[in-house]
Chains A and B, each alone.
Chain A
């Protein structure tokens, strides 16, 4: 289309750069949580995830032992030890004795602190403080050092989140909600779509108009009456009002207008000759539908299934209204929302949970993108 424009090298180069910038901006956020979810949880807070492949370095401060720890060696007073004490050792790249210059000296070199006092801190944290005169006072020498930890990647976060934070259970709950909610509307919608496309009956035009109108009715309009209805039914039959059956039916209801609309516009576009020749051969509408229309409609059925699957999997509102928050019912999105409240600062948990919630949609999306795009185009371009 645009082969004739922008022929100059600079122009083409500019287009590549511009698209690259857009792609980077659009993928960086997701990349951030993927990388973070695989990092060690101490490193997540020590450095930004974009630094995760280099050793994370941080400046720390400590105090050497006081004068009481000194020993005499070769006529000098010496304090020896390790700046990390008995704790975990990290690599030290530089050290210093003033807050203003915490990395003044390289690790492994001796620093001259004046009056013949020297301090050497080695890469492994061991230090030697030596002086010709005895040390005094009960406060040890202040020391600053830059320590670095090698990049550490782990799947520990996934273990923790899946099994002890309840995300694994929620994953099953989400599947439990999503699969029936995707399959049940398809058949119901397909029959209705066929009738609206190929059968003549009074009120058909009105019905189509109603369905197109219902396409845009905000979900919010349905919530309160249905909540009341469910509570009423629950009380009447003495059963809980928040059940999987309830949410399956709710998702079926909310998905039907789009399903009927999408399927109808496709089925209406099937060639008339096929239907008519089948009818002449004595096939009834039911036979035509089952033997001809359904098989031919496979692409659009797949499109709708993907839409509905993604919609239900990603839904938070319906799940929060029609399902409980106990472990046996809470779905991934609601669980993630709850974790945001209770584990607000624990990014290793949040990023990992978020990645688990988006992994299924991403797989569905990448493997079935063709059908997804087709559905988008059919659903919005034709009449909106």
Chain B
């Protein structure tokens, strides 16, 4: 273990030192090759221009190399692998995609993913908005917000354990140590094994993600609400609008853009949700989702890279519309800079 700590510290020093050395050294080298000081006027101008051509690439170079290896090349390679067999050796055309369409688990995953997409972003945004509006009105709102925001710092695995404890089931008549079944039994209901009830178990898993992400929605929307000009709200009050009308007709339309951002951010997260399903059910009882199915195929029976890659591509296809929208938004915003 000491060796491990030592090597971690060593890597931090090497990594940071290496970065500093690279940036500083490359820059120095550039100054040496194309000197701008101590040479005649026209040569200096020429060299400055050459420096200006090269230097940006020295700055973005390391980032570009890493991005290429870790993201750009894999995207292309995954696309290629999705047309190959399990070992990635023989071309099989669309066989993997055909398999996916007919596979029970895959169809179940698609169905569940659509369910997640329909429920989680909407629930988080809605709850986040309500809490943001309510906490703005009270003196202890900041404390309340921190507490609701807190689950965002908790890992999906940790959150899964927390909620598994809440859903814990003991036989009927026994002392229920899971909060949910205890409440149900207190009111005379029948305790259930919540996470193995097909179809409904999806919702019990979704609650975990909603619990985590509502704080995110709340913080973003709360800051957007603060940006609403006072006058529009005052005018609405003078006109006799009730709080609900103010909320739906004045506030919500003004922060529509932010709502869309929150919604799409959570949508992407939902498409990638993996940890919660793995730890709670590992896809049993019809609760499979694409990301977990993909992980499963990566390692099942030594791994089927063709099918795994195909599932990854399906997730990617679902993300592309949001990606395009993001790029267009960003272009609009940075157009002037």
Contacts and interface: CB of A to CB of B under 8 A. Distances in A.
Is A bound to B? yes
A44 interface: yes
Nearest to B69: A253
B12 A316 contact: no
B5 interface: yes
Contacts of B118: none
B165 A253 contact: no
Q: Give the size category of B's interface with A.
A: 35 or more
A257 interface: yes
B179 A28 contact: yes
Contact of A216 (B67, B258, B309, B322): B322
Contacts of A353: 161
Contact of A218 (B15, B265, B278, B316): B316
Contacts of B237: 4-5
A252 B66 contact: yes
B284 interface: no
Contacts of A252: 66, 70
A45 B16 CA distance: 50
Contacts of A250: 70
A225 interface: yes
Contact of A310 (B153, B278, B315): B153
Interface stretch (B95-103, B106-114, B196-204, B327-335): B327-335
Nearest to B148: A26
Contacts of B71: 214, 217, 221-222, 253-254, 257
A205 B315 CA distance: 27
Nearest to A223: B298
A225 to B, nearest CB: 4
B184 interface: no
Contacts of B192: none
B182 interface: yes
Interface in B1-59: 1, 4-5, 7-8, 11-12, 15-16, 19-20, 23-24, 27, 31, 51-53, 55-57, 59
Contacts of B190: none
Given A192-B59, A208-B330, A225 B66 contact: no
Nearest to A3: B137
Contacts of B176: 48
B216 interface: yes
B236 to A, nearest CB: 9
B239 to A, nearest CB: 12
Given A19-B135, A217-B75, A256-B66, A6 B243 contact: yes
Nearest to A335: B157
A13 to B, nearest CB: 10
Main secondary structure on A side of the interface with B: helix
Nearest to B258: A381
Interface in A315-374: 315-317, 320-321, 328, 333, 336-337, 340, 347, 350-351, 353-354, 357-358, 361-362, 364-366, 369, 373
Output the residue of A28, A169, A191 with the most chain B CB within 10 A: A191
Interface in B129-149: 131, 133-138, 140-141, 144, 146-149
Contacts of A283: none
Nearest to B27: A286
Contacts of B265: 380, 384
Interface in B240-299: 243, 246, 258, 260-262, 264-265, 268, 271-272, 274-275, 278-279, 291, 294-295, 298
Contacts of B66: 188, 249, 252-253, 256
B54 to A, nearest CB: 9
Contacts of A373: 219
A195 B53 CA distance: 12
Given A199-B59, A225-B78, A333 B20 contact: no
A218 B312 contact: yes
A279 to B, nearest CB: 11
Nearest to A194: B59
B316 A221 contact: yes
Nearest 4 A/B pairs, CB to CB:
A253-B70, A314-B155, A195-B59, A192-B63
Given A1-B230, A15-B138, 10 more contacts: A1-B226, A32-B162, A172-B5, A192-B60, A253-B69, A256-B63, A268-B337, A362-B153, A365-B152, A384-B330
6 contacts: A188-B66, A195-B56, A197-B337, A217-B75, A228-B77, A314-B154
